[in-house]
Structure 1
């Protein structure tokens, strides 16, 4: 059975809900504060595993209370195995502010994420096989990302890159991935100077690019053809982590053998469901909910 390897980061998410996001120099009072496991790598691994695809998360953490909190949170998560890379830095932290209506801003530390080496990336990706899926994000260094993609390519695995966050020039390595997923702001950054990010990505030679559109769904650009997948209308209360639900769900469904168009449709619906709930990983759809969504959408 094909599996998903997520090579990425893990963070302790500290989420504060506010009436509105503060202006520069302004202090606002939080309505509530919550702590939960997060980080793009961890989030996407959880979402992938809930499609039923066997998933391995490889992520660095420190040797502190925050690391123990993360490790304890997913011991019983079905279909998810974790290989923690222990480092000397403090476990990475994401500070998340969520305004009424769901808009959010996030600042993440990368002390642990920066410790992952190319040798480690090669070692884990060298275990991949044809049909497996490598899923990466922008948290790791450029050389680590390149090594992982090249190793997975040599093994015949499908390579998926979520460009968030863009912390270095990703353009030289995009062609190493079969599927590149970016939100609208990231797509604009990747195609700076072009009047149309979609047109630029279509002309770039990428096999498949997906631009996530928030409440409007997703735009799939594959083999030069553009297809928009609409999102269902929902009442959003917290959009933090929704992009990770989309990416992880998509990767898991692809590993399960679902075709791209159907996988994107289910992933959009899963992300839409997550924004109706508070916080990051606690808002993610369960495996049963993913199954129901797929059946309702005619995507078995």
Structure 2
């Protein structure tokens, strides 16, 4: 079994559970509150490590109180960290409201918008990072680092997985280095084309999740299909897509790309379990 690496965004999530979302100029009392690391790559790294795969996170962390939350929670999950943050960087703060009755979440976050000047990842730095790594995840955030990691992984024959939450400028360059792309229902190429169009950008396997609806997949050899999502009692949907990608990253690190439909089925089952409990790792 190889190790895994997740490269991209880490946030600090302030999660508040409410009976209903507030209206304009209204205050509501939270039923529960938590503060913990979030972000697609940050959460995927924690999930992958929790599933027993040695995992490294590469992204912008920085210094200060918010950065310490990121470092604390990644370390608690056994995830090593390589920081590529520019001087003065603080992790973005995400405000999350989870509606108690439905488990649906509303999120406000700046993500990595406007962040420049990332510390470069040289070949000398990438060699030890990728030593023993069998699968890499990139989420399209902090694109300079993602391109460095994906290019080096591709050169070494390491599987590269994309978590595509939404289209971002420059993502076309990253997709050309990706083997497997799993995107959300909200993801759309600038010129359209759906999964068939996404295949033409470079990956050999592509899939799209759709909440409680089936996950659809296609492959470059003409294969296609769906993975049904189990019916469960939903408590909290925050991070469900990140759990899906973290579980898929763990499978790829263990087994490679030999049976992607089975890998997607396994990842969907883990993500479905995750929404039955509060928080990204409540199921664990």
For the superposition of Structure 1 and Structure 2, which TM-score range results when normalised by the shorter chain?
0.7 to 0.9
Residue in 2 aligned with 1:139? 141
Task: Give the 3 Å change call, closer, same or farther, for CA 123–272 of structure 1 in structure 2.
Answer: farther
**1:245 counterpart = 2:243:** yes
Residue in 2 aligned with 1:181? 182
Q: Which runs of 5+ in 1 are unaligned?
A: 287-300
Q: Is the 8 A contact 2:244 2:271 kept in 1?
A: yes
Residue in 2 aligned with 1:29? 28
> For the residues of structure 2 that align with 1:112 and 1:70, how far apart are their CA atoms?
18
TM-score by length of 1: 0.81
The number of aligned residues is 277
Q: Is the 8 A contact 2:166 2:184 kept in 1?
A: no
Q: Which runs of 5+ in 2 are unaligned?
A: none
Residue in 1 aligned with 2:224? 226
Task: Give the 3 Å change call, closer, same or farther, for CA 115–205 of structure 1 in structure 2.
Answer: closer
1:108-119 counterparts in 2 under 5 A?
A: 108-110=109-111, 114-115=115-116, 117=118, 119=120
Q: CA deviation at 1:165?
A: 4.4
TM-score by length of 2: 0.85
Q: Is the 8 A contact 1:133 1:160 kept in 2?
A: yes
Q: CA deviation at 1:205?
A: 5.4
1:8-157 counterparts in 2 under 5 A?
A: 8-22=8-22, 25=24, 27-32=26-31, 33-78=33-78, 80-85=79-84, 87-99=87-99, 100-110=101-111, 114-115=115-116, 117=118, 119-120=120-121, 124-127=125-128, 128=130, 132-141=134-143, 143-157=144-158
SS at match of 2:90: coil
Give runs of ≥4 in structure 1 deviating > 6 Å. none
Q: Is the 8 A contact 2:9 2:112 kept in 1?
A: no
> For the residues of structure 2 that align with 1:97 and 1:121, how far apart are their CA atoms?
40
Q: Is the 8 A contact 2:60 2:142 kept in 1?
A: no
> For the residues of structure 2 that align with 1:59 and 1:147, how far apart are their CA atoms?
12
SS at match of 1:185: coil
Q: CA deviation at 1:173?
A: 3.0
Residue in 2 aligned with 1:272? 272
Q: CA deviation at 1:221?
A: 1.1
Q: CA deviation at 1:13?
A: 0.6
Q: CA deviation at 1:209?
A: 0.5
Residue in 2 aligned with 1:209? 206
Task: Give the 3 Å change call, closer, same or farther, for CA 125–7 of structure 1 in structure 2.
Answer: farther
> For the residues of structure 2 that align with 1:151 and 1:109, how far apart are their CA atoms?
28
Q: CA deviation at 1:250?
A: 0.2
Any idea what the Cα deviations from partners look like across 1:159-205, whole Å, max 9, x if unmatched? 1111224332423431210011111111xx226444xx234335555
Q: CA deviation at 1:126?
A: 3.6
> For the residues of structure 1 that align with 2:173 and 2:81, how far apart are their CA atoms?
30
Any idea what the Cα deviations from partners look like across 1:95-145, whole Å, max 9, x if unmatched? 11222302222222346993563722755544425861111102213x433
> For the residues of structure 2 that align with 1:123 and 1:97, how far apart are their CA atoms?
42
> For the residues of structure 1 that align with 2:196 and 2:263, how far apart are their CA atoms?
23
Task: Give the 3 Å change call, closer, same or farther, for CA 22–6 of structure 1 in structure 2.
Answer: same
Task: Give the 3 Å change call, closer, same or farther, for CA 137–205 of structure 1 in structure 2.
Answer: closer
Task: Give the 3 Å change call, closer, same or farther, for CA 116–243 of structure 1 in structure 2.
Answer: farther
From the two aligned structures, give the one with the greater helix fraction: 1
Task: Give the 3 Å change call, closer, same or farther, for CA 26–65 of structure 1 in structure 2.
Answer: same
> For the residues of structure 2 that align with 1:114 and 1:205, how far apart are their CA atoms?
27
Task: Give the 3 Å change call, closer, same or farther, for CA 35–201 of structure 1 in structure 2.
Answer: same
> For the residues of structure 1 that align with 2:90 and 2:164, how far apart are their CA atoms?
24
Q: CA RMSD in A?
A: 2.7
